Amino acid sequence: MLRGSRLVRPFQFQGTSSDWLPSSFTKGPAISAATNTILFLGLFIISAAISFSYWIQISNFQIGNSANETILISNKYQEPFKVIEFPLNCSIGSNINQTQTCPTSYPTTFGNLDDLEPSSSPVCPDYFRFIHQDLMPWKATGITRDMVERAKETAHFRLVIVKGKAYVEKYKKSIQTRDVFTIWGILQLLRRYPGRLPDLELMFDCDDKPVIRSRDFRGPNSTQVPPLFRYCGDRWTKDIVFPDWSFWGWAEINIKPWESLLKDLKKGNDRRKWMEREPYAYWKGNPFVAESRKDLLKCNVSDSQDWNARLFIQDWILESQQGFKQSDVASQCTHRYKIYIEGYAWSVSEKYILACDSVTLIVKPQYYDFFTRSLQPVHHYWPIRHDDKCKSIKFAVDWGNNHKQKAQAIGKAASDFIQQELKMDFVYDYMFHLLNEYAKLLRFEPKIPKGATHLCSESMACPASESEKKFMTESLVKSPSVTSPCTMPPAYKPQVLGNLYRRNINLNKQVQKWEDKYWENLSKQD
């Protein structure tokens, strides 16, 4: 079923009604076309700095340390430890008429939890606290099978985890390979923390806009909210947000998996110092997915007016012909300011833009994804008005060019946030905790539905097309993690959350006041 969706490619560049196309892709940046795939060695290796020597037995994954810490630390030439890796094995059952089967050698348990290294970051980043927020509708009642079934209406697939194995019941085809890479990500989570995910059933909707409207579930209906997973939410809806597919790669437009892209982005920042960048606000994307984007184009520089904006339309047809080499995200940190504006809904490009240590100018957003709720105006980004974009952008850029230290600090805060708090380890830990907290609420026993497919990395990656297989191989988790997930922080107290929202509103107002004064002053001088 899932394979079918890969065979029929829904992605086409031709045609004008491609509104849905890069709907979640504003800046079209992205594409590190580099073919020299960096096979990142998994989180295992990253923790190689730990000065123990690990030994691992394959059959019942155990980790131990035979450490003489002092000696190992001082001996740089000592081989740190041997890691048992489990690469994709595409030769199991791959005889002509047989379908690819799942190997049995991968560990199914996590060994002795006491032997695990504690996470290098004991407490998870603050945005994890919104997991409690997202699951609030079911806190008192729990989640019944009936509620889950009602979420099926718009779902693309049902994901079932039973005894550490993943099963998928597919309902309809998603845009591009969103469903494929989302499921791939969940399979990698299972490889990272084998045996530690609880049994569960959930419904996933891969479309852009949240659909579970709060207003439909008031009063007597308030106990009937269908739990539906998707990539973004807004203040009027109760969909549960989950990391989007692009963390494992966006095959159609050649955006690499996040882990290696993050390294490229870091290098991209070093390529051109902030002071040497163009002192303007840059945007490149598809304006035809939203009115507000078309409106933004009016702010482009012209013979008669300069709003400090340099705006470009993403030419999808041309770029696809060139293999998207023109829009390498990592080489797009060329301007001191970069604009983020929502498209059809939220856009996956937001993380790529924030990762540049240029100042991100965020046009007042409606949607949030799993990490953006902990971003703070003026600290991580500069807020831009929705209604008077040009004047707002002009002021933001002038302000930044007159307060260069402060502007650079904003750019740096955002890129640090992305590099540290949104690294792949935390993306997996977010999924881990969200699924665990969700499963705690289930009031029924998860069952493998008839007709559901058992999926493993081999059954997805081995028959995949070349471009998909490349990203899957690259984002494969090769070994179970040697560290525990970070510790889940507690829910926000309502009052604290209220203060947080108020603080952000006040910061936005403050910026608007500065902006109004600036324009007042200019008009007086005329």
Is 219 a residue that touches ligand NAG (CB under 6 A)? yes
Within 59-88, which residues bind ligand NAG (CB under 6 A)?
68, 70-71
Tell me the window of 18-26, 246-254, 353-361, 514-522 that interacts with ligand NAG (CB under 6 A).
514-522
> For ligand NAG, which stretch binds (CB under 6 A), given 32-40, 186-194, 212-220, 332-340?
212-220
Tokens 């998928």, residue? 168
Judged by CB, which is closer to ligand NAG: 185, or 343? 343
Please name every residue paired with 166 in a beta bridge, in sequence order, or none if there are none: 161, 455
User: Does 311 participate in binding ligand NAG (rule CB under 6 A)?
Assistant: yes
Residue number, 103 or 198, with CB nearest to ligand NAG:
103
Nearest approach in angstroms of CB 523 to ligand NAG is 11
Report the nearest approach of ligand NAG to the CB of residue 395 (Å).
Answer: 10
297 binds ligand NAG (CB under 6 A): yes
Query: If we measure between CA atoms, which residue out of 183, 159, 193 comes closest to residue 243?
Result: 183
Pairing of strands 382-384, 233-234: unpaired
Instruction: Please tell me the distance from the alpha carbon of residue 504 to that of residue 370, in angstroms, as a whole number.
Output: 18
Show the tokens assigned to 151.
Answer: 């979420």
**Between 4 and 219, CB nearer to ligand NAG:** 219
Contact (CB, 8 A) for 255 and 329: yes
| Residue whose CB is less far from ligand NAG, 443 or 517 | 517
What is residue 239's DSSP assignment? Answer: P
User: At its nearest, how many Å lie between ligand NAG and the CB of residue 146?
Assistant: 13
Sequence-distant (6+) residues with CB within 8 A of 164 are 108, 190, 194, 195, 197
**Piece in contact with ligand NAG (CB under 6 A), picked from 57-65, 140-148, 307-315, 473-481:** 307-315
Of 262, 276, 237, the residue nearest 352 (C-alpha): 262
Can you tell me which of 45, 116, 211, 313 binds ligand NAG, judged by CB under 6 A?
313
HSE-CB for 26 with a 13 A CA cutoff = 27
Smallest gap from Cβ 218 to ligand NAG, in A, equals: 5
Instruction: Calculate the CA dihedral of residues 343, 346, 352, 355 and round it to 10 degrees.
Output: 120
What sections of 219-304 are H helices per DSSP?
258-271, 291-297
Q: Which is nearer to ligand NAG, 99 or 221 (CB)?
A: 221
As measured in angstroms, the least distance from the Cβ of 432 to ligand NAG is 27
> Taking the complex as a whole, how short is the minimal distance between the CB of residue 69 and ligand NAG, in angstroms?
8
- What is the three-class DSSP state of 383? strand
When binding is defined by CB under 6 A, the residue of 13, 20, 55, 312 that contacts ligand NAG is: 312
Confirm if 454 and 169 have CB atoms less than 8 A apart: no
* Contacting ligand NAG within 481-500 (CB under 6 A): none
Which one-letter amino acid corresponds to residue 431? Answer: M
218 binds ligand NAG (CB under 6 A): yes
Beta-bridge mates of residue 281: 309, 337
Q: How far is the CB of 150 from ligand NAG (least distance, A)?
A: 9
**Residues 12, 16, 20, 26, Cα dihedral to 10°:** 100
Alpha carbon distance 410, 353 (integer Å): 13
Contact status: 97 vs ligand NAG (CB under 6 A): yes
* Residue partners of 522: CB distance under 8 A and separation at least 6: none
Task: Give the position of tokens 């009063």.
Answer: 219
Residues 147 and 417: their CA atoms lie apart, in Å, by 36
Q: Is 393 in the site for ligand NAG (CB under 6 A)?
A: no
CA 235 to chain centre: 20
> DSSP class of residue 255?
B
Single residue of 53, 89, 133, 436 touching ligand NAG by CB under 6 A: 89
Among 221, 305, 465, 506, binds ligand NAG (CB under 6 A): 221
Kindly state the number of chain residues that form the binding site for ligand NAG, as judged by CB under 6 A: 21
By CB under 6 A, tell whether 402 contacts ligand NAG: no
Pick the closer one to ligand NAG by CB: 219 or 494.
Answer: 219
Q: What's the min distance (Å) between Cβ of 222 and ligand NAG?
A: 9
User: Taking the CB of residue 416, how many other CB atoms lie within 10 A of it?
Assistant: 13
Nearest CA to 181 among 263, 242, 134?
242
Minimum Å gap between C-beta 284 and ligand NAG is: 9
Draw the binding track, 360-389, toward ligand NAG (x: CB under 6 A; -: no contact).
Answer: ------------------------------
- Of 231 and 283, nearer to ligand NAG (C-beta) is 283
Q: Strand 233-234 relative to strand 240-241: parallel, antiparallel, unpaired?
A: unpaired
Q: Give the range of 326-334, 380-388, 429-437, 513-521 binding ligand NAG by CB under 6 A.
A: 513-521
Residues in the site for ligand NAG, rule: CB under 6 A? 68, 70-71, 89, 91-92, 96-97, 216, 218-219, 221, 297, 300-301, 311-313, 517-518, 521
